[in-house]
Amino acid sequence: MRLRSTSRNGATRLSTVSLAALCVFALSACGARVDAGGAPSASAESCVDTSGDTVKIGFLNSLSGTMAISEQTVHDALELAAEEINADGGVLGKQLEIVSEDGQSEPTVFAEKAGKLITSDCVAAVFGGWTSASRKAMLPVFEAQDSLLFYPVQYEGLESSPNIFYTGATTNQQIVPALDYLVEQGTKSLFLVGSDYVFPRTANKIINAYAEAHDIEIVGEEYAPLGHTDFSTIVNKVKSADADAVFNTLNGDSNVAFFKEYNNAGMSADDMPVVSVSIAEEEVGGIGVENIEGQLTAWNYYQTVDSPENTAFVEAFKAEYGEDRPTSDPMEAAYTSLYLWKEMVEKAGSFAVDDVTAAADGATYDAPEGKVVVNGDNHHIAKTALIGKIGADGLIHTEWSSEEPIEPDPYLEGYDWADGLS
């Protein structure tokens, strides 16, 4: 009897240890604490040194951790832009000197490294960030130190900091045009699938408001935890709901599992197209072209955009990093952000933050995606919306375009149906 109970305790202890291990593991996996712990409270006196032949700028991307896959490509695009600008004589005659920091896919690290770049490296501006969590963590640092951040990724809107320039799309330049396109195609019902965090939830709030005003029925709204890989239940729900189209805000690996399951369940782009806002050229290869061919995406840039500026950009990028590397929207937005900063600085004739911000309004650049213009009020840029179709070649081809650049409206103030969203 005694022996038996001992052995049972042994088993209990083992399971306790392993459960403790699981807790540790789970905590570390989603330990994205968002606080501005890195914000130093030192004075906001700028220490940027512009007396020599060079000026320092900071690149802050995740070069390790889960976001490294995406952010490395943005980093490469920034490096390319800096190289080109330097070869072309620099900014205001000064060569750019790059200080690179690794955000390690952790918002707190982003805040900390941003503080370091501003106060100890004394950079004139910082370029980078990807997740909204990293941007939200850096925001108070840039405001306290009165320095500049250029953020190159599409995001959920509802933000406008005087110290940040947003060169990716806000919602009215990506999600709203995608919905306009669907309405144009005669879509009457939508199924929403997204990852369970801030961007999809905010995006779907906007989509619900839009749907109500435009007579679209939302027949289902499903969220999967980040990293979720079993989509049989969600696909079953999508299938039985039988909507006209699916709006997909899933992020990362989940997309692969979702699309494989979607096809295996016998559905295709012909009977229920899926519009995705987080799948760019980079991701298509990982998902497998055969799984996603014919599906739709909403962005502001594709590698296939037909313009001399884009041809030059794609050629330069491939020459630098290899023929097999595609270019995508966030990379192009990052590349553009450096050139836009150059425009602003040269317009202002100064590297000082106040002068640059004052000169920002109306700064233009002929970007690979087309002409972009900075809005001085909300610090976003006017961009053309493009709906694309994923082709058999793994590239995305423009199916529909807003033709004109759309003025940024991060709070959706110009849309009646969006009243009460923010």
Contacting residues for 408 by C-beta, under 8 A, at least 6 apart: 166, 170, 172, 173, 375, 378, 380, 381, 382, 383
Q: Interacting stretch for other proteins, rule CB under 8 A, among 160-168, 211-219, 224-232, 376-384?
A: 224-232
Closest residue by Cα to residue 356 from 103, 116, 123, 37: 123
b/e string for 119-132 if b means 16 or more Cβ within 10 A?
A: bebbbbbbbbbbbb
Would you count residue 268 as binding other proteins (CB under 8 A)? no
Would you count residue 213 as binding other proteins (CB under 8 A)? no
Would you count residue 42 as binding other proteins (CB under 8 A)? no
Residue placing its CB nearer to other proteins in the complex, 70 or 357: 70
Would you count residue 173 as binding other proteins (CB under 8 A)? no
Among positions 226-255, residues that touch other proteins (CB under 8 A) are: 227-230, 232-234, 236-237, 239-240, 253
Torsion of CA 328, 330, 334, 335, to 10 degrees: 10
- Chain centre distance of CA 233: 28
What would the x/- binding string for other proteins be over residues 61 to 100, using CB under 8 A?
-----x-xx--x----------------------------
Residue placing its CB nearer to other proteins in the complex, 137 or 224: 224
Would you count residue 17 as binding other proteins (CB under 8 A)? yes
CA distance 342 to 340: 5
- Chain centre distance of CA 239: 29
Closest residue by Cα to residue 107 from 85, 70, 140: 140
| Minimum separation from the CB atom of position 290 to other proteins (A) | 6
Size of the residue set binding other proteins (CB under 8 A): 54
Would you count residue 47 as binding other proteins (CB under 8 A)? no
Q: For residue 169, what are the β-bridge partners?
A: none
Residue placing its CB nearer to other proteins in the complex, 283 or 343: 283
Among positions 180-199, residues that touch other proteins (CB under 8 A) are: 196
Task: Report yes or no: 59 and 101 within 8 Å, Cβ to Cβ.
Answer: yes
Q: Interacting stretch for other proteins, rule CB under 8 A, among 21-29, 152-160, 328-336, 357-365?
A: 21-29
Contacting residues for 364 by C-beta, under 8 A, at least 6 apart: 343, 371, 372, 373, 374
Q: Interacting stretch for other proteins, rule CB under 8 A, among 78-86, 142-150, 205-213, 279-287?
A: 279-287
Residue placing its CB nearer to other proteins in the complex, 19 or 319: 19
Residue placing its CB nearer to other proteins in the complex, 224 or 298: 224
Contacting residues for 17 by C-beta, under 8 A, at least 6 apart: none
- Chain centre distance of CA 96: 25
Q: Interacting stretch for other proteins, rule CB under 8 A, among 225-233, 293-301, 356-364, 404-412?
A: 225-233
Main-chain dihedrals φ then ψ at residue 190, nearest 5 degrees: -130, 145
b/e string for 326-359 if b means 16 or more Cβ within 10 A?
A: bbbbbbbbbbbbbbbbbbbbebbebbbbeebbeb
- Chain centre distance of CA 242: 30
Would you count residue 208 as binding other proteins (CB under 8 A)? no
Would you count residue 12 as binding other proteins (CB under 8 A)? yes
- Where on the chain is the footprint of other proteins (CB under 8 A)? 3-4, 6-8, 10-12, 14-15, 17-19, 21-22, 25-26, 29, 66, 68-69, 72, 196, 222-225, 227-230, 232-234, 236-237, 239-240, 253, 256-257, 260-261, 263-266, 282, 285-288, 290-291
